[in-house]
Homo-oligomer: A and B are copies of this chain.
Amino acid sequence: IIHLSPPEILLSGFLGLGMLGACLLKLPGMHQQGLSWLSALFTATSAVTVTGLSVTPLSDFTLAGQTVVLILIQLGGLGFMTIAALSLVMLGQRLPMHQTSLLREALNRSSSREIGRLLKIITAFALTLELAGASLLALDWVPEYGWQEGLWLSLFHSVSAFNNAGFTLWPDSLMREAANPLTSGVIGILFMTGGIGFAVIGELRERRHQHGWRVLLQPSRFSVQTRLVIEATVALNLLSLVMILALEWRNPGTLGAMASHGERLLAAAFMAITPRTAGFSVIDSAEMTQASTLWTMALMFIGGGSGSTASGIKLTTFVVLLLTTRAFLRSEPSPILHGRRIGDDTVFKSIAVALAAMLLIFSMLFGLTITDPDHAFLSLAFETVSAFGTVGLSHGLTPELSPGGQLLIIATMLLGRTGPLALGYLLATRSRPGISYARTELSIG
């Protein structure tokens, strides 16, 4: 681990797991009709990159096949969070303090025992949440589907939600749960926790430990990074809620068809939060207005917190870009966040991540218009951005894509998952020493 760079670990890990998964899914007894190699590779890649796009519904897999997908999701999501935490430390980025020193030591001494301790902390946190989530879901689904199916549904969707995989065992995502505040609420809390990133959660827990719960009302006690992620998450979610309500309230294909105002509000809240990585859907995305489709694409492009299960350019990158643009328009020398100057290195990293992301999306979309010229442009763009952000929301187009188009989506999922972080790592190697103390460093990508 010490001698391989994190991007190399990531890319080879995702590729290797995807191919291994494809081989497993090709085995007899995994799928009711049997899968093509391409469909197997697509499903395995989508699972290991926690995207959730699919060319064949998971309900057509056997229990064994669904188990393979679930293991790929857990390895991809949890494994990524772990590697991200390790590489954050290697980059000298902020981690909760006791973990920083623990990890620094661990890495300096090359002690696999210390690294194992970190893995244990993260794994315990993830499994606790997944089991708690599954128990809550089971309250609803065991009575409805019986013990065996109900428990499996609960476990699968809890793991899929915490890892932000967006896979469900139903062909219409979570549409049947749209009116159920318990299940959609539990799934929402799970994917928000997974999508906010381990560094932020670790810091929240540590500060609460030091100062008690009242620390939640004292934002200045947190690192700039953590405040930024939390504030941006809250602000984007509220803005999106207003947008979705305004643009979909009377749409008979989505919210307009729902029975009560409460139901519409619940569904709108879910659809406001899901695009930044989760990918579960309680309405038919293909029926959304063009305006909210475009808005959703912007959210998918932005993504979640760094080092989380989310992809996209990441919240920090997005906020740094916004602040940079504002600073330029005001002729200020540097963007300022919470009274601290954002260093040029951070600004440059953000820009490189965003430009690389846009170039990637443009290239892939351009490729799709060539391999699949007969599909609506907006739908092609929607699937591409969804794959880049490893979100998994879909206009239902993916199964109809040509083999070339499906390969492009596979590549987009892989590059979306590894790309920005890998890029951020490469850039971080050139950070300059001896920077004045007032600077703040944010992890990008």
Contact = CB atoms under 8 A, between A and B. Distances in A.
Interface of A: 247, 289-291, 293-295, 298, 321, 324-325, 328-329, 331-333, 344, 347-349, 351-352, 355-356, 359, 362, 365-366, 369-370, 373, 376-378, 380-381, 423, 426-427, 429-430
A325 B369 contact: no
Contacts of A376: 376-378
Residue of A289, A349, A359, A366 with highest tally of chain B CB at under 10 A: A366
23 contacts: A247-B370, A289-B369, A290-B373, A290-B380, A291-B370, A294-B362, A294-B366, A294-B377, A295-B366, A298-B362, A321-B355, A324-B355, A325-B352, A325-B355, A329-B352, A329-B423, A331-B426, A331-B427, A331-B429, A333-B430, A376-B376, A377-B378, A378-B378
A328 B427 contact: yes
B291 A369 contact: yes
A325 B324 CA distance: 17
Contact of A289 (B321, B373, B380): B373
Given A290-B377, A321-B355, A325-B352, 17 more contacts: A289-B369, A289-B373, A290-B380, A294-B362, A294-B365, A324-B352, A325-B359, A328-B348, A328-B349, A328-B427, A329-B352, A347-B348, A351-B351, A376-B376, A376-B378, A377-B377, A377-B378
Contact of A324 (B328, B344, B351, B370): B351
Contacts of A426: 328-329, 331
Nearest to A334: B348
Nearest to A377: B378
Nearest to A362: B298
Contacts of A329: 352, 356, 423, 426
A430 B327 CA distance: 11
The 5 closest A-B pairs by CB, nearest first: A377-B378, A328-B352, A290-B369, A291-B369, A331-B430
Contacts of A365: 294
A369 B352 CA distance: 30
A429 B332 CA distance: 10
Nearest to A351: B351
Nearest to A367: B291
Nearest to A292: B369
A356 B327 CA distance: 12
Nearest to A374: B290
A348 to B, nearest CB: 7
A366 B298 CA distance: 11
A309 B413 CA distance: 41
A359 to B, nearest CB: 7
Given A331-B429, A344-B344, A426-B331, A366 B291 contact: yes
Contacts of A295: 366
A380 B365 CA distance: 17
Contacts of A366: 291, 294-295
Contacts of A325: 352, 355-356, 359
A39 B278 CA distance: 46
Nearest to A349: B328
A425 to B, nearest CB: 10
Given A329-B426, A377-B377, A294 B324 contact: no
A312 to B, nearest CB: 16
Contacts of A291: 366, 369-370, 373
A323 to B, nearest CB: 11
Nearest to A371: B291
A66 to B, nearest CB: 35
Contacts of A377: 290, 293-294, 376-378, 381
A407 B111 CA distance: 65
A293 B369 CA distance: 9
Contacts of A359: 325
Residue of A291, A329, A365, A429 with highest tally of chain B CB at under 10 A: A291
A438 to B, nearest CB: 19
A70 to B, nearest CB: 36
Nearest to A366: B294
A291 B408 CA distance: 15
Contacts of A293: 369, 377
